[in-house]
Amino acid sequence: MGVERQAGVPRKHKVAMAIAALLLISVSGGAAPAREEAGPNAETRTIIDMRGREVEIPAEEVNRVIGVRASSLRLLTYLDAVEKVVAVEDAGHGREKTVHEFFHLATYRIAYPELRELPSIGSSESHEEIIAAEPQVVFSATADVAELNRLQETLAIPVVAVDADVEFYDMERFVEQLEMLGTVLGREDRAQELAERIGALISDLEARADSVGEPRTGYAGGMMFYGPANLLRTTGDYFPFDYTGMENVMPTNPAGNRQPYMTSVEELIEADPQYIFIDAANADLSRTGYRDNRAALDENVTAFANRDVYTTLVYKYYGTNWENQLINAYYVGTVVYPELFQDIAIEEKTEEIWRLFFNVPVEYHTATEHFGTGLGRVDWR
């Protein structure tokens, strides 16, 4: 069974084309002209950010940056640019210094605990504190272009937009983001490495999925998206199912944004998945939700009846944990199609993928202890 096709082009071909485009840019000696060009004077260069804005950034090497809003700091860790970060948020949802209940659900905070030692700018609204930290560039995950422009005007500092919600389904855009960040940060080689190796992992998953005959059915629950929820927050667009040859029993979000949403016990029973995977972020709440409806679920849902219920690593918390999406795909494969993933030792694969994204070692048992649970079958009786 091949993966889903979009606009007549197999998804695997889209991945290959995106990676090839990035490699072409590298071979030709730099970023594509549409991404970077000389600014109005010799002191700046112009880039196009992820909201299509032309932003003038310093022509000199950018060595002082701040990331605000979901996923900005995560992306800076991916680009191996932690030493360029001069301050962090520590207010509202962006609490990067204050350890709280959900703090360690963002893997980059485990990989780079030293980020907690940096000065705090409060939040993206703390304009004076941001200015005082003297960043050359501020990265923001704000989607509103007018808000981005206002922040840049207020700070008199370049504000570069990133996209916290782009998924591997749109690998071209994901690579575009890596490329843009590499250009701004002087990390072009790192961007190329990430694109190549992520592309290779996705191609490996697709090759295994192509060998699936009769697809098995799955349900993803316990999604952390705009706050905690139990097993009834689900998603119809779950990369680990789509790229391992599974059939997702739930439809895409009715809002059309491909994000997690709430379903009901009745709809879960009607869907009757063979396998259920619960996000570690909401494992405890999901267990409570199961126990509240145990009799009905055990009697009517194959996965519960057969005890084929498992936890996966955190997918959504303060943006997308892209590294964990790949890990979860390999884990789903080892559970559902063990004959196709018999060469995968999942703890070793997890550490390999974390090392790829963060460029520092992250130990499996240490990280999953912080998460509250790791990859495994649940015991909810």
Round to whole Å and give the CA distance between 220 and 247: 11
The pLDDT tens digits for 252-272 are 998 888 889 999 999 999 999
- Of residues 143, 26, 168, 140, the one with CA closest to residue 75: 140
Q: Are 66 and 124 in contact (CB under 8 A)?
A: no
Round to whole Å and give the CA distance between 280 and 363: 17
**CATH numbers and ranges of domains, the chain:** 5-198 (3.40.50.1980), 213-377 (3.40.50.1980)
The pLDDT tens digits for 334-360 are 999 999 999 999 999 999 999 999 999
Measured CA to CA in angstroms, residue 202 lies from 20, 25, 117, 135, 322 at distances of: 14, 21, 35, 35, 12
The pLDDT tens digits for 201-237 are 999 999 999 999 999 999 999 998 777 899 999 999 9
Q: How confident is the model at residue 15 (pLDDT cuts 50, 70, 90)?
A: low
The pLDDT tens digits for 89-114 are 999 889 999 999 999 999 999 999 99
Which phi and psi (to 5°) does residue 68 adopt? -125, 150
Task: Please say if the pLDDT value at position 6 is more than 90.
Answer: no
Residue in the structure block whose two tokens are 């209940």: 101
Answer yes or no: pTM beyond 0.75.
Answer: yes
The amino acid that residue 208 corresponds to is: R
What local confidence, expressed as pLDDT, does residue 224 receive?
Answer: 86
Q: Are 26 and 123 in contact (CB under 8 A)?
A: no
Task: Please say if the pLDDT value at position 41 is more than 60.
Answer: yes
The pLDDT tens digits for 313-333 are 999 899 999 999 999 999 999
Which phi and psi (to 5°) does residue 139 adopt? -100, 135
- Burial track 124-143 (b if 16+ CB lie within 10 A, e otherwise): bebbebbeebebbbbbbbbe
Round to whole Å and give the CA distance between 285 and 255: 25
Q: Are 290 and 231 in contact (CB under 8 A)?
A: yes
Average pLDDT score over the chain: 91
Q: How confident is the model at residue 20 (pLDDT cuts 50, 70, 90)?
A: low
What local confidence, expressed as pLDDT, does residue 257 receive?
Answer: 81
Task: Please say if the pLDDT value at position 17 is more than 70.
Answer: no
